[in-house]
Amino acid sequence: MPTQLLAKIDDLKNEALELHAKLVSIPAIGPDNNGSGEKDKADFLTAYLKDKGFGEVKSFNAPDERVKCGYRPNLVTVIPGQDTSRTLWIISHMDVVPVGDRSLWDSDPFTMVQDGDTIIGRGVEDNHQGLVSSVIAGRALLDSGLTPGINFGLIFVSDEETGSKFGLEYMLKEHEDLFKKKDLFLVPDFGDADSSLVEVAEKSTIWYKVTVMGKQCHASDPDLGANSLIAAAAMIMEVPELHYQFDEENILFSPPYSTFVPTKKEANVENVNTLPGKDVFYIDCRVLPNYDLREVTDQVKGMALYVAEEYGVKIDVEIVNESQAAPATPADSEIVEKILFAIKEVYNIDARPGGIGGGTVAKHLRERGYQTVVWGTQMHQAHQPNEKGSISNTLNDAKVMMLLPF
């Protein structure tokens, strides 16, 4: 592709900044996080895209009575290619997470602040960067007058931050006729700061809530009770044993092994001189895809039975989140080869396909056999106070996107 065509994206820097600022100013928080949904942002984007020459913008509305308008919007627009039977889809999400502790922010979370290349505000990286990059890539294509080899399709979904039931999952269940198996998919919602990681696989995820029931009593006479905290501590100390039960490694991932980590601990008694009778903690497990999560659950429940008998308590193990990994996108697939080439052209680095422990909406696509990669140039600022993004990353990622449909 001619250098001058990619240079068109640099010419759109001010437009990219203005779009970033407008998106930040429209909070799009889902009802699960006590927000009013994504409608205002979707309405703005629809008008914006039409004004910039994108043509038809369709809204696929997932019914949700919890928001005032009664639905969660999902937007689709397509720039036709020479081969209209295939589409490169770039899927970003409109929703953001709440600001969290407002006192940790140095500025208004919903007013973008620019400091040189750095932009600050809720959503500037997660996921406005990917969204703006895809729009700017489309703008440059339209301005160039060139027709891409295949369709260039943009999708802006709702509900990514709280499960995707009203977002991409809804689109795939109710409107899968939009997609073809030979289509290519990019989800610009994860990546490394050096642009080098092209995510093609994810670990399985399972979270356990472990409830230890003992017997509360006065701490001065502990023999009258059964200390749930001691039993919970013993159960926590059993968790590392899972690494020995599920010890295979896969160099596609970093770390290359399954992880099993005790995390959240709920409060028990309020005063020091009471022996606790109930303790609750959680275990976060990220498991290599070759393992069946039912085997992990069997091991955890077996450990619970052992500890319960040893300490004279009752232990309940509840699954609060479970996601068996989808098959990986093959490292030699067309979308992987295209994006590795494009990253080399723009960033002059040799990127690599790899796997992550976290989960993305790519799972829903891979489950259905679509060639999908997750990639972006990101500083891992998602969900943080004073969330930061980069305008140069936004523009350079747009250049990578622009190369993909050719």
CA distance 101 to 309: 42
Closest CA to 33 of 163, 156, 172, 128: 163
Distance CA 8, CA 318 (A): 54
Q: Going by C-beta distance under 8 Å and a sequence separation of 6 or more, which residues neighbour residue 400?
A: 339, 342, 343, 345, 346, 347, 375
Contact status, residue 253 vs residue 354, Cβ threshold 8 Å: yes
Q: Which two tokens stand for residue 183?
A: 């289509």
DSSP bridge partners of 152? 79, 88
Which residues lie below 8 Å from residue 103, measured CB to CB, with a gap of 6+?
none
Residue 239: CB atoms within 10 A of its CB come to: 18
Full DSSP string of 238-255: HGGGHHHHS--B-TTBSS
Q: In the chain, how long is the greatest CA-to-CA distance?
A: 83
Any idea what the Cα angle at residue 103 is, between residues 97 and 105, rounded to 5°? 60
Q: Any bridge partners for residue 75, and if so which?
A: 59, 156
Residue 37: left (phi > 0), alpha (psi -120 to 50), or beta? left
> Which residues form the catalytic set?
95, 160
Alpha-carbon distance values, 151 to 7, 77, 126, 243 (Å): 21, 10, 25, 46
CA distance 100 to 103: 9
Residue 296: CB partners within 8 Å, gap ≥ 6? 206, 242, 246, 285, 287
Q: For residue 11, what are the β-bridge partners?
A: none
Matching residue, tokens 């099993």: 260
